[in-house]
C-alpha cells in the first residue's frame, strides 16, 4: 500500500474498520481510506480516529453515522444485484434525498458476475446502478478489476483495480 501511495494512489478500499486503522498507520494522513463494511456498531472511534470513510450499507448504518459522527465523511454502497452489501433499490429510494443532502464522498456498488464477461447480470447491474444514481452529484464507482475489463461503460468516476494492479485477471478470454 505504501508503494501505491508513493506512486500516486489517493484512494484505498478495505473490508473492515480495523484494516483501515492499520492502513492509516502505514500511510499517514492524506489518502482516502474507504471501508466496505460501512459503519458497524462500535466502529465510531476507529472511523473518527483514523479518518476513515465508511461506505454506508443500510438505514441502520446511516442513522448510526449521523448520530455518532455528524459531519464526518461517508460514502454510500448500493445493492445493484449482488445481494451482499448495500442498500437495495427500495431502501435507497426512501433514503436517497436524506443521504445526498449530507454530501456523500462516493456512491458505489459491486458487480456480481464481472468474472463472466458475457453474463447478463453485468448489463442488468449496470442499468440498475445508472437508474439508482441518476442525477447524483457525487462520484460513482461500480467496477473492480473484472468490471474495468468489461469496458468504459462500467468505469464511472472511480475504479477499484485490486488484483488488476498485480496483473491478475478474473477471466482469461
Nearest to 124 by CA among 137, 109, 107: 109
pLDDT at 168: 80
End-to-end CA distance of the chain: 29
Q: Give me 68's grid cell.
A: 455518532
pLDDT averaged per 10 residues, the chain (length 173) = 93 97 96 97 98 98 98 98 93 97 98 94 98 97 95 97 80 62
DSSP string, 90-112: HHHHHHHHHHHHT--S-EE---S
pLDDT at 172: 61
Q: What is the CATH number of domain 2-166?
A: 3.20.20.10
Give the span between the Cα atoms of 60 and 86, in whole angstroms: 12
pLDDT at 166: 78
| For the chain, domain boundaries | 2-166
Question: What is the enclosing helix (H) or strand (E) of 157?
Answer: none
User: Is pTM beyond 0.85 here?
Assistant: yes
Amino acid at each position: 500500500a505504501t508503494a501505491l501511495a508513493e506512486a500516486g494512489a489517493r484512494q484505498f478500499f478495505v473490508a473492515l474498520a480495523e484494516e483501515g486503522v492499520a492502513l492509516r498507520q502505514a500511510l499517514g494522513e492524506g489518502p482516502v481510506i474507504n471501508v466496505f463494511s460501512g459503519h458497524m456498531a462500535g466502529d465510531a472511534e476507529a472511523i473518527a480516529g483514523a479518518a476513515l470513510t465508511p461506505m454506508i450499507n443500510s438505514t441502520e448504518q446511516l442513522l448510526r453515522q449521523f448520530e455518532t459522527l455528524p459531519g464526518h465523511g461517508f460514502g454510500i454502497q448500493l445493492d445493484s444485484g449482488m445481494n451482499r452489501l448495500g442498500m437495495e433499490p427500495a431502501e435507497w429510494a426512501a433514503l436517497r434525498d436524506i443521504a445526498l443532502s449530507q454530501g456523500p464522498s462516493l456512491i458505489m456498488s459491486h458487480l456480481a458476475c464481472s468474472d463472466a464477461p458475457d453474463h447478463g447480470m453485468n448489463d442488468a447491474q449496470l442499468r440498475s446502478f445508472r437508474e439508482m444514481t441518476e442525477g447524483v452529484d457525487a462520484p460513482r464507482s461500480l467496477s473492480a478489476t473484472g468490471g474495468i475489463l468489461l469496458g468504459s461503460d462500467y468505469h464511472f468516476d472511480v475504479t477499484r483495480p485490486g488484483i488488476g494492479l498485480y496483473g491478475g485477471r478474473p477471466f482469461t478470454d
